């Protein structure tokens, strides 16, 4: 039998990494076969200490890195070898860590930087990171109850823990007849929900009418919704994006949704699915859940709530009103990896009727998946809840985060960022040159620089703010911000949520914005005075 591909063929003390030896060498009497011990406990302990020290040092010197690197495409490929090594170099692991430090980190956008305000947070914590390491080390695949009984049951416990902490209606929890699971991202959760809704509806009206199905969202809904709908077989022109307006804080209007659904019904089409959002990507708009459910109900349309970012804030009772009416939704998802210290990737999804997911995504078990211990019991096989069979034991890190920080600790984490965002909003409003474009609801502030009338007013405002963002992000020490373009208005986004962010980082960020704005306005005034 040929040796495994990861075995070393050792002849006279030399080693090869799987290459086929010359015939003469194969026949040599001194040939030995040695497989590397890749799960050596002592070596793991040594290398593990190196990694922990490396990450701890990284956290400690985060401020030394520009938040966003000044690199050009190909910068890393040009310095790395074009082929993997045939044999490991001496102290290969230490050498690789050195390359991470010297070559890779300088070219990274540092999402954990306290000066990263561009995107919604990808929050980390020591417990979350260690939970991820523990998950990787144990490395089970809980696709059925039998494959990893404790992993499956811990997941069931933790999604109920989390759902209760978020003040979700009991109907979405296992305790109330619903249930939840952990998937990779909200994108996966939305796709699973659409597929479940599609199959449920086609069972009523007939599979041949798939071309009549229509899905709905607002023009602020994350773009993945449209992609998920296409994957699920919904025609491109059957995805209705209902326009929003500034007067409604860019939330989806129940009146406009009702008009869109009725128009489709009148045209012989079938309303299938509504994706409502709590905390849209651009401005954190909150759709009125209860009112939208009332519109969707007469049509039998599935209602999913995407609370990827803002769902974490629901641990605080003061935000609970934002999901009023959630007892009527069919599914709900949020990302603990965004703002709840669970590390990427970790999306929680709850459904009111798990049987709908199983009916759409379930597989017929073959004999290898069966287990005598589960016979006669109503067990959960999570392979039937999502699009994948192989899945990660994400519940472990969420369980550790909840145990080690507690719900009160998570509330304090969220409230600290909301407080900093409120302070940033106040100082923006105090500068008459700026305006806060949308009402702040969580820890995102959308603002822009007003363009003086003598410099073009609204006609030049968008270009002025594009230039401002470029200048702000070009400052080597940070901050790093992003933009949104809503209702024809280009604005800057300051999203506060990094675990390491403190008040001083927010104050420093505002000073950079003010300084760059002053420089741009002075330059424009000079240009206009010369041209005038």
Q: pLDDT tens across 186-230, in order?
A: 999 999 999 999 999 999 999 999 999 999 999 999 999 999 999
Q: Kindly report, residue by residue over 12-31, the tens digit of the pLDDT.
A: 444 444 444 444 444 545 55
Q: Kindly report, residue by residue over 325-366, the tens digit of the pLDDT.
A: 999 999 999 999 999 999 989 999 999 999 999 999 998 765
Residue 102 carries which DSSP code? I
Judged by phi (left if over 0) then psi (alpha if -120 to 50, else beta), residue 279 lies in left
pLDDT at 531 (0 to 100)? 63
Mean pLDDT value of segment 34-50: 85
Phi, psi of 326 (to 5 degrees): -65, -15
For residues 228 and 198, the answer to whether their CB atoms sit within 8 Å is: no
Query: Considering Cα of 395, then 397, then 400, then 404, what sign does the dihedral take?
Result: negative
pLDDT at 167 (0 to 100)? 97
Least confident of 319-328, 359-368, 383-392: 359-368
Residue 406 carries which DSSP code? H
Mean pLDDT value of segment 496-523: 95
Higher pLDDT, 364 or 49: 49
- Tell me how crowded residue 417 is: count the other CB atoms within 10 A of its CB: 24
pLDDT at 39 (0 to 100)? 86
Residue 279 has pLDDT above 50, yes or no: yes
List the Cα angle 111/344/513 in 5-degree steps. 20
For residues 329 and 303, the answer to whether their CB atoms sit within 8 Å is: yes
Mean pLDDT value of segment 496-518: 96
pLDDT band with cut points at 50, 70 and 90 for residue 526: confident
Least confident of 59-63, 147-151, 289-293, 451-455: 451-455
Measured distance CA(135)–CA(74) in Å, rounded? 33
- Give percent above pLDDT 90 in the chain: 77
User: What's the gap between Cα 278 and its chain centre?
Assistant: 14
Q: Kindly report, residue by residue over 398-412, the tens digit of the pLDDT.
A: 999 999 999 999 999
pLDDT at 6 (0 to 100)? 43
With helix as H, strand as E and coil as C, how does 451-480 read? CCHHHCCHHHHHHHHHHHHHHHHHCCCCCE
With helix as H, strand as E and coil as C, how does 280-348 read? CCCCCCECCHHHHHHHHHHHCCEEEEECCCHHHHHHCHHHHHHHCCHHHCCEEEECHHHHCCCCCCCEE
Please, how many CA atoms are within 13 Å of residue 57, restricted to the half-sphere of its CB?
11
Which H/E stretch holds residue 161?
helix 149-165
Residue 141 has pLDDT above 60, yes or no: yes
pLDDT at 461 (0 to 100)? 92
pLDDT at 363 (0 to 100)? 84
pTM for the model stands at: 0.88
Residue 306 token pair: 């995407």
pLDDT at 29 (0 to 100)? 52
Phi, psi of 276 (to 5 degrees): -95, 155
Mean pLDDT value of segment 241-265: 96
Measured distance CA(254)–CA(267) in Å, rounded? 20
pLDDT at 21 (0 to 100)? 46
Q: Kindly report, residue by residue over 68-113, the tens digit of the pLDDT.
A: 998 899 999 999 999 999 899 899 999 999 999 999 999 999 999 9
Higher pLDDT, 38 or 422: 422
pLDDT at 10 (0 to 100)? 39
- Tell me how crowded residue 512 is: count the other CB atoms within 10 A of its CB: 18
Q: In what order do the strands lie in the sheet with 331-334?
A: 179-183, 347-351, 331-334, 302-306, 270-277, 213-218, 239-242
Mean pLDDT value of segment 121-144: 91
Which H/E stretch holds residue 131?
helix 126-138
């Amino acid at each position: 039998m040929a040796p495994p591909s990861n075995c070393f063929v050792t002849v006279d003390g030399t080693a090869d990494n799987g290459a086929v030896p010359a015939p003469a060498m194969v026949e040599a009497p001194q040939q030995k076969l040695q497989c590397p011990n890749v799960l050596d406990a002592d070596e793991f302990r040594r290398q593990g200490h190196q990694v922990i020290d490396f990450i701890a040092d990284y956290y400690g010197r985060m401020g030394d890195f520009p938040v966003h690197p000044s690199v050009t495409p190909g910068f890393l490929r040009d310095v790395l070898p074009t082929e993997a090594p045939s044999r490991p170099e001496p102290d290969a692991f230490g050498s690789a860590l050195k390359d991470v430090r010297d070559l890779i980190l300088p070219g990274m956008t540092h999402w954990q930087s306290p000066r990263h305000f561009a995107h919604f947070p990808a929050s980390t914590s020591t417990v979350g990171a260690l939970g991820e390491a523990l998950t990787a080390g144990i490395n089970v695949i809980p696709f059925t109850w039998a494959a990893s009984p404790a992993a499956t049951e811990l997941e069931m416990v933790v999604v109920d823990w989390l759902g209760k902490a978020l003040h979700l209606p009991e109907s979405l929890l296992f305790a109330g007849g619903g249930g939840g699971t952990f998937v990779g991202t909200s994108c996966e959760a939305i796709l699973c929900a659409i597929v479940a809704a599609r199959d449920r509806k086609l069972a009523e009206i007939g599979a041949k009418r798939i071309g009549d199905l229509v899905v709905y969202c607002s023009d602020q809904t994350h773009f993945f919704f449209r992609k998920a709908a296409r994957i699920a077989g919904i025609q491109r022109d059957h995805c209705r994006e209902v326009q929003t307006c500034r007067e409604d804080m860019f939330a989806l209007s129940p009146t406009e949704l009702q008009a869109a659904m009725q128009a489709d019904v009148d045209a012989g089409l079938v309303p299938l699915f509504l994706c409502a959002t709590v905390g849209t990507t651009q401005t954190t708009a909150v759709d009125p859940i209860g009112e939208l459910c009332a519109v969707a109900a007469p049509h039998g349309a599935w209602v999913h709530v995407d609370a990827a970012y803002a769902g974490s804030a629901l641990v605080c009772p003061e935000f609970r009103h934002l999901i009023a009416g959630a007892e009527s939704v069919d599914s709900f998802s949020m990302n603990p990896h965004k703002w709840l210290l669970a590390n990427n990737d970790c999306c929680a999804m709850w459904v009111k009727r798990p049987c709908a997911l199983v009916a759409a995504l379930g597989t017929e078990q073959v004999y290898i998946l069966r287990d005598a211990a589960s016979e006669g019991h109503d067990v959960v096989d999570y392979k039937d809840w999502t699009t994948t069979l192989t899945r990660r034991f994400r519940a472990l890190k969420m369980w550790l985060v909840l145990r080690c920080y507690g719900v009160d600790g998570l509330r304090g984490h969220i409230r600290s960022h909301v407080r900093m965002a409120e302070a940033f909003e106040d100082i923006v409003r105090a500068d008459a040159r700026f305006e806060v474009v949308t009402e702040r609801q969580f820890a995102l502030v959308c603002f822009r620089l007003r363009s003086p009338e003598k410099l073009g007013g609204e006609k030049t405002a968008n270009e002025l703010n594009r230039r401002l963002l470029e200048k702000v992000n070009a400052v080597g020490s940070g901050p790093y911000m992003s933009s949104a373009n809503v209702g024809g208005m280009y604005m800057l986004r300051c999203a506060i949520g990094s675990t390491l962010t403190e008040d001083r980082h927010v104050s420093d960020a505002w000073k950079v914005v003010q300084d760059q704005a002053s420089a741009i306005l002075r330059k424009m005034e000079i240009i206009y005075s010369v041209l005038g």
